[in-house]
Amino acid sequence: MSLIQLLETGRSLAERIPYSVVALVARLTVADVFWRSGQTKVEGFHIREATFFLFRDEYKVPLLDPVWAARLTTFNELTFSVLLAVGLATRLATLPLLAMIAVIQTFVYPQAWTEHLLWSSILLFLLTRGPGKFSLDYLVERWIRKDRPLPI
């Protein structure tokens, strides 16, 4: 088998991977990153005091009150990661996370651009292509269009 044939075979096999599988992996990967980050900020149902300390004394994002920045960040990380994981309002859920990445990259950890670029590219992929068939968005859209009833 020649190198060209080998490459063609590999490409053909890769093209058989359904988009919905790729989108599911992308959603779960980014959701996990933000969920774990959000979990470090809470204790039970309350934001940890250490979180407020970080936003006040270390992160120092301009124009945002540290208390509100801590609350907003915690809310965004925990809420939108869940929406991404289940594929509900997926395209909308990417927007606040992309905004957070932009703020973090600009004001907090500019040296972490490789991770931010990776997360952003996955979120942009989901924003532009959608969540795939393994999502609640897919079921809701089918129900709205009356293609089929919800399988509940």
pLDDT tens figures, 93-152: 999 999 999 999 999 999 999 999 999 999 999 999 999 999 999 999 988 887 665 555
Q: Domain map of the chain by residue range?
A: 19-145
pLDDT tens for residues 46-88? 999 999 999 999 998 888 999 999 999 999 999 999 999 999 9
What pLDDT shows up at residue 148? 60
The amino acid sitting at 28 is: L
State how far the Cα of 24 lies from the Cα of 134, in Å rounded to an integer: 7
Give Cα 84 to chain centroid, integer Å: 6
Exposed (0-12), middle (13-18) or buried (19+): which is 98, by Cβ within 10 Å?
middle
pLDDT tens for residues 25-54? 999 999 999 999 999 999 999 999 999 999
The stretch 11-15 carries a mean pLDDT of 91
State how far the Cα of 132 lies from the Cα of 90, in Å rounded to an integer: 10
